[in-house]
Amino acid sequence: MTPEAVVFYLLAALTLGSAAICMLARSLIYSAFALLGAFVGVAGLYLLLGADFLAATQLLIYVGGILVLLLFGVMLTHKLYDLDLKSGTTQFAPGLVVSATVFALLSWVAFHAPWRLGGGREPAPTTAALGEQFLGKYLLPFEAASLLLLVAMLGAALIVRRRKDA
Amino acid sequence: MIGVQHYLLLSAALFSLGLLGVLTRRNAVHVLMGVELILNSANLNLVAFARYGSGQIAGQVFAVFVIVVAAAEVAVALAIVLTMYRLRRTPNLDAADSLRG
């Protein structure tokens, strides 16, 4: 077993284990921290795949932004609205069947599709290359994404504001 | 040797775990966490193909855009969930049934 394989299986175990805890735990806080483990595992897998800038972005935005937002949302609504932090499941058996079917289908496709792989890309520092792509070929989606973020911020603030009228 | 199929299998497992959460959890925030797992699995696929596939870096560019869209979506979705708490006094998604026929 090469070191790459050992690291891959460790990170895969961390990611899948955390995802399973996240989806099966009863308490919201346990699920949020298990989701943290899943995000860190995925960031490690990005590093293994040679995507160094993307791993840093994943940690900053997912762990430092989205997860903190989720935790704040949960904890503040818990204080304000006296909601129960535990949550059960509904219709677990049909959901499990559907999820297992989707997994079987996806893994069958993964092993039987004729992937026409090129040479691949050896792991190399990606930040400069990504910057060139963002400001070159993908400039329009880049600008559109910044517009999307602005609109999302405005929309979220607008949805949550309290109305003064009755 | 770790090949692209390993990553595809891993992301298929992550996708189905997220799908399980989206289908079976009652709390809206749990469903949001499942959606984030699904988005991460798709990102993993993109980066795996950027590494083992055509050799271009476009997969990682797309993955950055997916992260951006996921961040925007979580912000708006939490705003909606908060408003739903305010109106219905419960986080259960079963209570969001005003459009039911």
Q: Do A16 and B13 touch (CB under 8 A)?
A: yes
Which amino acid is located at A84 in the chain?
D
pLDDT higher than threshold 70 for residue B85: yes
Q: Do A119 and B55 touch (CB under 8 A)?
A: yes
The predicted structure's pLDDT at residue B26: 85
Asked if A111 reaches chain B (Cβ–Cβ under 8 Å), the answer is yes
Q: Which residues of B touch A91 (CB under 8 A)?
A: 23-24
Contact between residue A18 and residue A34 where contact means Cβ atoms under 8 Å apart: yes
The predicted structure's pLDDT at residue A66: 92
Backbone angles phi, psi at A161, to 5 degrees: -70, 150
Listed range (A59-68, A76-85, B47-56) with the worst mean pLDDT: A76-85
At A124, is the pLDDT very low, low, confident or very high (cuts 50, 70, 90)? confident
Asked if A51 reaches chain B (Cβ–Cβ under 8 Å), the answer is yes
pLDDT higher than threshold 90 for residue B73: yes
Taking the complete model, does pTM exceed 0.80, yes or no?
yes
From residue B80, alpha-carbon distances to A149, B77, B99 in Å are: 16, 5, 16
Q: Which residue of B has its CA nearest to A108?
A: B9
Check if CATH label 1.10.287.3510 holds for domain B4-89.
yes
Question: Mutate which of B35, B44, B56, B74 to disrupt the A interface (most A C-beta within 10 Å)?
Answer: B74
pLDDT tens for each residue of A79-122: 655 555 666 778 888 999 999 999 999 999 999 988 888 777 78
Q: Which residues of B touch A88 (CB under 8 A)?
A: 26
DSSP summary character for residue B90: -
Nearest to B57 by CA among A146, A44, A134, A96: A134
Q: Tokens 């986080």 identify what position?
A: B91
Q: Which residue of B has its CA nearest to A89?
A: B25
- Give the start-to-end residue ranges of the domains of chain B: 4-89
